[in-house]
Amino acid sequence: MTPRLVIISPCRDEAQFVRLTLESVVNQSRPPDLWIIVDDGSRDATPDLIAAYAARYPWIKLVRREGRQERQLGPGVVAAFNAGLTYLGDTPFDVIAKLDCDLEFGPDCFSRILQHFQDPRVGMASGTTRLSVPGKLVSERFAPYHVPGQAKFYRRECFRDLGGLQPVYGWDIIDETDARRHGWLTQSDPGIVIIHHRMQGAALGTLRGRIIWARGAYAIGSHPLFATARGLFRMLERPWLVGGLIFLWGFFSSYFNPELQRITDPELVRYLRREQLYRLAHGNRLPPGR
């Protein structure tokens, strides 16, 4: 039986790229049964572009949230996604996806991702993202067990085990970690290319984006040794040295920010840290059986 696919897309000020995502989805050999696009207070032409497609394709639904003044990653994205869940209500699904609106992908993307769910052990799956920069596509260098936050597909039972998405910076790391804690496999297929047209956090500026990454690492309870290694690694990327230093500053300064929400499940944090320390000692591989 073909699984019923529902997609929810938080979207804000994406007029530059949203048409690429719209065209990619409507041209899928296996389009979604329902696509809920949540416009999160856009101030550009984004909702008008989406509305034009929604008028042509009855399975595209535009939900508009108003009142948010500032673009916010992490908790803001999850809040917009949850608005889509509210709209979805009791509508049944077998696989639910969170999909960004600055992506582009081939017509067989969804059908190939759904094939991974034929393995009952797989709880979360996607393709592999490539960042579009002038003249070329650059790998975003994620491990094969990391399912990119830009395009995450969840089995219904796995999504239920997670209790939904955590409204914190770093939600896209903690959800896949929690999925593995519940015994699910998480995987991204290197043969399914998803083109990402804007680096995560780029809309907020390169250095502020690094701070957001660092706050996410703190919010999910990352081990300080792992965060330090991550900061040192980021020094080898543009902006050279500065990006890594900003990441380290953002992580360790978060300990003194009482307003920053952090994961409160001690068992989940311990599981995450065990994975991280194992990855540090074993070339970024997960512990056996994960």
What does the pLDDT read at residue 243?
A: 87
Q: How far apart are CA 83 and CA 77, in angstroms?
A: 10
The residues, ordered by sequence, that sit 6+ positions from 149 with a Cβ below 8 Å of its Cβ are: 98, 100, 171, 172, 200
Q: How far apart are CA 277 and CA 72, in angstroms?
A: 30
* Full pLDDT tens readout for the chain, 290 residues: 689 999 999 999 999 999 999 999 999 999 999 999 999 999 999 999 999 999 999 999 999 997 665 656 688 899 999 999 999 999 999 999 999 999 999 999 999 999 999 999 999 999 999 988 777 877 776 789 999 999 999 999 999 999 999 999 999 999 999 999 999 999 999 999 999 987 655 444 567 778 888 999 999 999 999 999 999 998 987 788 998 999 999 999 999 999 888 999 999 999 999 999 999 999 999 998 76
What does the pLDDT read at residue 3?
A: 93
Q: What is the CA radius of gyration of the chain?
A: 18
